[in-house]
Structure 1
Amino acid sequence: MPLRATLLGYPLSLLGFPFLPLATTLLLSGCQLSPSFNNGGSEALTRDPMLSAPPITRGLDAAGLRTLLAAELAGQRGDYRLAGQGYLEAAKRYNTPALAERATFAARFGSDIALMEASALRWRELAPQAELPNRLLATLSLQRGDWLDSLEQRLAITQADGNGEIAAFSEVAVAEEAPLSLLIQPLRAFIDQPSAQQYEFYADALLGAALIEAALGNTRLAQQHLDQVAQREPESASLWLAKARLALEAKDHRGAQRAAQRGLRLAPDDVRFILMLAQAEIRLNNIAAAEEQTNALLDSHGGNEELRIALAQLYLEEGHDAPAFRLLQPLIGQPVVPDLAYYLLGAIAQSQDEVDNALLYYRQVRNGSEFLPARAAAARMLIDHDRLLDARAMLRIERMRHDAYFDQLVMLEIQLLDELSLYEDATNLLNREITRTPDDTSLLYLRAMRAWEMGDFDGMEQDLSHILRIEPDHANALNALGYTLADLNVPGRLEEARDLIERAYEADPNNPAILDSMGWVYFRLGKTEEALAWLESAYAQMPDQEIGAHLAEVLHTLGRSDEARQLIERILLRVNHHPQIDDLLERHPELTPPSTP
């Protein structure tokens, strides 16, 4: 079982654990890596970021000139959000792609995700053959977890003879457990087109499809795609990387070894082949050969510290502690030992049942993204050895040692107690700490959410109101109270709910949860058309099942039931847990998609 599944016992994404596939990093940095968004080096920090945007060349009327002048002046003074809004308004008025592109630039530098997406959509509408807006939209979709939309943008790039990076996307999708059964459908449709083979990057789409088909267990189809790529591009390094990866997944370790060796001959400097070959050797139990590969890789990179740690992780994930320890050992004598190294050393000691040594290593993690996972691992280890009191004492001491992590450590202990069904102990701990620090808004918010889970609306409102007396612009508290009032449809309090949510929106205008609340309170107030606009914006940024359920209900109320059913069908294909959709279908069974069993 992989390391991430055994060390902590719950998803590392919840703890901020810093392990993401390289492809994820590259894909998510698409905005920064695209030529139009990166001027390069330190010069980009000092130059006017709008200099490289396209010039305005069309004639204007008075209103248009006023809009553009306001946008230009806003950009010059660094108010890129206002500048982007002005350029987008002008792009809608004059149907000029250059204006939409300029709006996208401004939104990018203003870090306004919603405005950037709206501008890129307008840019694509005005310039359907332009690659950059599709690439940007694909990146934004991936960032918010809308895998299907991201793939569709990439396929559009491929159809325009650009590189949609579909193979890299598929690699991330498989690693992150995306809805593969949903993603394979447009890929199959694209590949089956009679004209598809004419596209320059058709082989990239085949490789992406092969990776997803293999992950779905369709090995025959995956192999067919790889055979097609081999006919078109037999010397493609990407082909042999995919072959090696698929062989590893199929437990054909010899095949993976041969494919990695072939790829290494084609691309001797590609570290992915060295890692793949090392992984194949490890699974063949050729540890000496694997260490030869990883040592050569280290030597070629000057003993790089980060690479050393990454290789140690590789051995640990494959269940080989000794070579992992040998890789980490040189770091122990350094003046400053990386926190991740201490974390991994703790994991090694824990796997060898050296509880006290593991505890020492875990507690030497000083800060950063490994701090909480290390304390969680230490506490769980003690609990697993029937030492709950020691675990709680350790966490109490850590709270005194690390004041910056006080709230998170309290929350961690509460979570552990809840998992042990010690709900009363968890509640007592939370109440005790709030008594000691009565204005701690993080703990008050946690208690409010626990009250809501237990159906105690009065207790929830009391704590949220206390937070708002301390921090009147606390966006989460404003939104939580406003949304709950709207969702419960509390008589006589819907206007109050709207006021709270509007204040939350003023404090955090780009938060999709708040946009969802705005839509929902307008729906409760009977303003269905206004609700639709807010919910569509929220769902575009965060396509989760709760927002989707709200949007589907509003569409149904507006007489657009077919669209609501299509939306529900896509959500049911994408996620396994969908309580809000289930509740909606129970109230409106006529919205059940035909394909639902």
Structure 2
Amino acid sequence: MRPRFSLSGPVLMGSTCSGFSLVSSMLRHSILLPVAASAVLLLSGCQSTPSPQDGPLGTWADDPMRNAPPITRGLDAAGLSTLLGAELAGQRGDYRYASQGYLEAANRYREPALAERATFAARFGNEASLIEASALRWRELAPQAEAPNRLLAAFSLQRGDWLDSLEQRIAIVEAGGHGDVTAFAEIAVAEEAPLTLIAQQLREHLAQPNADQLEHHSDVLLGTALIEAALGDTAVAQRRLDQVALLDPESAALWLVRARLALETEDYSAAQRAAQQGLELAPDDVRFILLLAQAEIRLNNISAAETQTNALLESHGGNQDLRLSLAQLYLEEGHPEPAQRLLQPLIGQPEVPNLAYYLLGAITQAQGDTDNALLYYRQVNEGDEFVPARAAAAKMLIEEDRLLDARAFLRIERMRFDSYFTELVMLEVQLLDETNQTEEANALLDREITRTPDDASLLYMRAMRRWEAGDIAGMEADLRQVLRTDPDNAEALNALGYTLADLNLPGRLQEAFELIERAYEADPDNPAVLDSMGWAYFRLGQPEEALPWLESAYTQIPDQEVAAHLAEVLQALGREEEARRLIEQIMQRTNLHPQIDDLLKRYPELTPQETP
């Protein structure tokens, strides 16, 4: 008997192979996990369906579905195949394929749950580009969902796109969620982010109607106050804190920012009171302990600070990380003795933290005991403190006019720690440069590259030194050597491509563009590559194409070099006023702006009116 199809317009309503309607129903209800199971039912059902040849009519002369309208709703064969493939890929641990499948399905069916599933699969597989693409689609399909914005905010922060991260956080706040703006501001201040641009974005949000009616308005106020305090706008920051005090006087975050602002304005008694108040509200928050200790130290109450911090350490079970942080604080504030007393209990432990040895080396060095300081520094094993410890030891010896001893020390360390060979060579080159031993530095670099001719980092370092010396051919030779062993080295591709584009060498612009394109394929999130791409487009006479690349680069690294490129493109597009405002921002932010100065020599009409 022939299979029966019931068609209503372009929608497949049912068939003897009824799994389609089952999966469509599941899709409508966002139940995605059982997709594979439903496929088994579907396939088994199809296997039991009689074939056309089994019926009395024999083989069909023509396909009865040839002129049927296309399926525009529900799952068609391609959609089902995509979902099944994604589900099975996830079960076998191929999260990249799973994420791609779910994302394709989300684009096809506009179902937020599919985009959500694509995002989580990408996170399991640690696929950065897929995480972002899936989260963007998720947010597009579910604008009120907090999770995709939160994920995009964290993702942007991870790659250093401060303004985009803040934009996602503000979107969360405007949707009624908690955007963690204060925590973001703390990181921004610590990491020397573009605070002026961040403050501008925060103020624009706060100026919006009804911004003060949002549930987490106080968090935005606190974050803004932190940024403004770091920029020196302490009076404005204080007014914001007064607003928060009216909204949420029991907020621990309020007292945290109050303490920091008081330290910034050198009101150490107020900082002490604020830290104590915060500690009462959040006794387990070590930040208040550190702020309280810092306030006591600034008040020169060293004995009181030690008594208090020792009691707090005891109440926290002798927390090792807290002990190290307090020791570091004492040392930074110029009090090595209490720092040493805090660190001594750690030395007898089976596993001494690297930071303890590093800090003890610094303390002993400050006490003038070079030999013991050297012993401490040498006990720092592989990890974050390894290279800083060797740098501190070598600089200490150089300061005592023992350059040969410093070089011998670094040479021995290269033999002891082969995995740090490259970093230690680069460190020695840097130290030789600092002591005006440029020829010795070049000789060292040449010698070590001869021994390790495929060391990409050393080759790149020499290439940059050759560029600074005006040896473009030598620079290109080194970068070409890097690319022979690592054709997808984004740093080398970008450096060579940008240099060729910037020099505007006859007949080599297209080559420069192709190199930068390869760099972008290898590292699409690198703002330096985005800047190079924009500059290459401009050199090729395509300012319209250049603009979005440079705008994106400037968002992530708002320095004077990218600003000069962006301003020149704006000028070429007839947007001189925007270029002038951009130049003015840079000149207000820093006194050193050679690229901007060079630009103004070529385009004096872009000079801001306020600038003499």
TM-score (norm 1): 0.80
Cα–Cα, structure 1 residues 52 and 364, in superposed 2: closer, same or farther, change >3 Å?
farther
Matches of 2:252 and 2:549 in 1, distance apart?
Answer: 46
Following superposition, the deviation at residue 369 of structure 1 comes to 1.0
CA offset digits 1:93-142 (Å, max 9, x no partner):
55544444344334433434344334434433443322223222322332
Matches of 1:285 and 1:585 in 2, distance apart?
Answer: 50
CA offset digits 1:123-166 (Å, max 9, x no partner):
33443322223222322332333333333332222222211122
Q: Is the 8 A contact 2:361 2:374 kept in 1?
A: yes
Following superposition, the deviation at residue 585 of structure 1 comes to 5.2
| Corresponding residue for residue 360 of structure 1 | 375
Given candidates 455, 458, 462, the residue that maps to 2:470 is 455
Match status 1:217 vs 2:232? yes
Match status 1:446 vs 2:461? yes
Matches of 1:593 and 1:81 in 2, distance apart?
Answer: 50
Matches of 1:415 and 1:70 in 2, distance apart?
Answer: 53
| Corresponding residue for residue 396 of structure 1 | 411
Cα–Cα, structure 1 residues 583 and 66, in superposed 2: closer, same or farther, change >3 Å?
farther
Give the counterpart letter for 1:371 in structure 2: F
Which deviates further from its counterpart, 415-424 or 429-438? 429-438
Which deviates further from its counterpart, 201-210 or 408-417? 201-210
Q: Which has the larger radius of gyration?
A: 2
Give the counterpart letter for 1:310 in structure 2: S
Give the counterpart letter for 1:199 in structure 2: L
Given candidates 405, 430, 447, the residue that maps to 2:445 is 430
Cα–Cα, structure 1 residues 69 and 551, in superposed 2: closer, same or farther, change >3 Å?
farther
Matches of 1:213 and 1:109 in 2, distance apart?
Answer: 38
Match status 1:415 vs 2:398? no
Following superposition, the deviation at residue 342 of structure 1 comes to 0.8
1:136-535 matches, within 5 Å, as 136-505=151-520, 507-508=522-523, 510-525=525-540
Give the counterpart letter for 1:349 in structure 2: T
Matches of 2:84 and 2:570 in 1, distance apart?
Answer: 39
Following superposition, the deviation at residue 168 of structure 1 comes to 2.0
CA offset digits 1:227-269 (Å, max 9, x no partner):
2222222222222222222222222222222222222233333
Cα–Cα, structure 1 residues 511 and 153, in superposed 2: closer, same or farther, change >3 Å?
closer
Following superposition, the deviation at residue 212 of structure 1 comes to 2.8
Q: Is the 8 A contact 2:262 2:271 kept in 1?
A: yes
Which deviates further from its counterpart, 320-329 or 152-161? 152-161
Cα–Cα, structure 1 residues 578 and 200, in superposed 2: closer, same or farther, change >3 Å?
same
Matches of 1:494 and 1:415 in 2, distance apart?
Answer: 33
Following superposition, the deviation at residue 456 of structure 1 comes to 0.6
Following superposition, the deviation at residue 565 of structure 1 comes to 6.5
Q: Which has the higher contact order (CA 8 A, sep 6+)?
A: 1
Which deviates further from its counterpart, 432-441 or 309-318? 432-441
Matches of 1:455 and 1:358 in 2, distance apart?
Answer: 41
Matches of 1:72 and 1:531 in 2, distance apart?
Answer: 41
Cα–Cα, structure 1 residues 519 and 66, in superposed 2: closer, same or farther, change >3 Å?
farther
Q: Is the 8 A contact 1:114 1:541 kept in 2?
A: no
Q: What is the DSSP-based 3-state SS (H/G/I as helix, E as strand, rest coil) of the residue aligned with 2:334? A: coil
Give the counterpart letter for 2:427 in structure 1: L
Q: Is the 8 A contact 1:113 1:510 kept in 2?
A: no
Matches of 1:248 and 1:523 in 2, distance apart?
Answer: 47
Which deviates further from its counterpart, 454-463 or 117-126? 117-126
Matches of 2:592 and 2:106 in 1, distance apart?
Answer: 41
Match status 1:59 vs 2:74? yes
Give the counterpart letter for 1:241 in structure 2: L
Following superposition, the deviation at residue 505 of structure 1 comes to 4.8
Cα–Cα, structure 1 residues 462 and 118, in superposed 2: closer, same or farther, change >3 Å?
same
Q: Is the 8 A contact 2:377 2:389 kept in 1?
A: yes
TM-score (norm 2): 0.78
CA offset digits 1:194-242 (Å, max 9, x no partner):
5233211122222223323333333333332222222222222222222
Q: Is the 8 A contact 1:522 1:531 kept in 2?
A: yes
Matches of 2:552 and 2:93 in 1, distance apart?
Answer: 26
Following superposition, the deviation at residue 509 of structure 1 comes to 5.2
Following superposition, the deviation at residue 374 of structure 1 comes to 0.7
Cα–Cα, structure 1 residues 244 and 266, in superposed 2: closer, same or farther, change >3 Å?
same
Which deviates further from its counterpart, 367-376 or 145-154? 145-154
CA offset digits 1:378-424 (Å, max 9, x no partner):
11122222222222222222222222211111111111121223222
Number of residue pairs aligned between Structure 1 and Structure 2: 547
Following superposition, the deviation at residue 367 of structure 1 comes to 1.4
Provide the alpha-carbon RMSD of the alignment: 3.7
Q: Structure 1 regions of 5+ residues with no counterpart?
A: 1-49
Matches of 2:258 and 2:352 in 1, distance apart?
Answer: 37
| Corresponding residue for residue 132 of structure 1 | 147
Following superposition, the deviation at residue 515 of structure 1 comes to 4.9
Matches of 1:340 and 1:348 in 2, distance apart?
Answer: 12
Q: Is the 8 A contact 1:179 1:575 kept in 2?
A: no
Give the counterpart letter for 2:381 in structure 1: R
Q: What is the DSSP-based 3-state SS (H/G/I as helix, E as strand, rest coil) of the residue aligned with 2:412? A: helix
Q: What is the DSSP-based 3-state SS (H/G/I as helix, E as strand, rest coil) of the residue aligned with 2:272? A: helix
Matches of 2:105 and 2:607 in 1, distance apart?
Answer: 42
CA offset digits 1:498-520 (Å, max 9, x no partner):
45445545555554444554554
Following superposition, the deviation at residue 368 of structure 1 comes to 0.9
Give the counterpart letter for 2:210 in structure 1: S
| Corresponding residue for residue 31 of structure 1 | none
Q: Structure 2 regions of 5+ residues with no counterpart?
A: 1-31, 39-71
Which deviates further from its counterpart, 314-323 or 269-278? 269-278
Following superposition, the deviation at residue 347 of structure 1 comes to 0.6
Cα–Cα, structure 1 residues 250 and 562, in superposed 2: closer, same or farther, change >3 Å?
closer
Matches of 2:147 and 2:412 in 1, distance apart?
Answer: 52
Q: What is the DSSP-based 3-state SS (H/G/I as helix, E as strand, rest coil) of the residue aligned with 1:369? A: coil
